[in-house]
Amino acid sequence: MAAASALRRVDLCALDEVPPGTMKLCEVDDDLVLVVNLNGELHATQGICSHQYFELDKGFLAGDSITCALHLSRFSLADGEPLDPPAELPLAVYAVVVEGGRVLIEVPPGPLEVNR
């Protein structure tokens, strides 16, 4: 339980800003986090493609993956793994908590983990 207390919670947005089937890009510190609502199941990943800088909210959702619109790299929302090239690095994935109608992520202290 000591490890859980070392996590910080970061407020991203209101739950109603991300209805089922949509995504929202949120700013955290100097980075971007993508919140995705897949039929009521929330996911949060880094908001920028790991292949080349491009905001993932400009991409599209298909099943349980997101495709970057720049070079069509596709990523699993469950674990961030790249499913289609040219991306080779996974997206950083963050634990999501919904509390008081707000979407939060739980992350270690310090800068967000982001794969570039």
Q: What is the CATH number of the domain that holds 80?
A: 2.102.10.10
Model pTM score: 0.93
- Is residue 33 in some structural domain? yes
Please report whether residue 112 resides in a domain. Answer: no
CA angle 59-64-103, nearest 5°? 80
Distance CA 5, CA 49 (A): 30
114 inside domain: no
Question: What range defines the domain where residue 90 resides?
Answer: 2-107
pLDDT tens track for 53-74 = 999 999 999 999 999 999 999 9
What does the DSSP assignment read for 20-75?
TT-EEEEEETTEEEEEEEETTEEEEEESB-SSSS-BGGGSEEETTEEE-TTT--EE
Name the token pair of 19.
């209805």
Report the pLDDT averaged over residues 101-105.
98
Instruction: Flag whether 113 is in a domain.
Output: no
Amino acid sitting at position 49: C
Structural domain count of the chain: 1
| In a domain? residue 116 | no
